[in-house]
Amino acid sequence: MRVHICAVGRLRTGPEADLLDDYLTRFDRSGRALSLSKGEVREVEDKKGKGMQAEADLLVRAIPDGATVVALDERGQVLSSPEFATKIAHWRDDGCADLAFVIGGADGLSKELRARADFKLSFGRMVWPHMLARVMLSEQLYRAASILAGAPYHRE
């Protein structure tokens, strides 16, 4: 299963980019044996400043055809790390070829894009900067792969 992170904004060089690369590299190493591909980041940018709907249109184009869409949204479901790993395993085992995590910009995701999502995931009721959300997601992807592989990274 190919994993995609479709996000608004360009992540410049710096600590967030370094962490994102590190966790995606770890995810790739752990996930290969589990039929999980390295997370691909697809960035979109509303250069004309037309707002949330323009961002949503760009994000929709970044989502692979037929992908299972997971919207990161504060109103979504909060999962533990083992529950998240189980969810990923179910999507993979059900034949999902592409899994796309969608992260909105400063104003979040449009109502229409949230409605289109197959699942809504929340990192809690707090709002996180969209650049940090990428890092948090990449770490949880690596943690999920570690849990599925039975590796000691995740401790309960």
Q: For the chain, list the domains and their CATH numbers.
A: 2-149 (3.40.1280.10)
User: What's CA 73's distance to the chain center, in Å?
Assistant: 11
pLDDT, tens only, 107-139 = 889 999 999 999 999 999 888 888 899 999 999
**Among 8-12, 50-54, 123-127, whose mean pLDDT is lowest?**
50-54
Number of Cβ within 10 Å of residue 143's Cβ equals 21
What's the whole-number mean pLDDT along residues 34-46? 88
Q: How many helices (H) and strands (E) does the chain have?
A: 5, 5
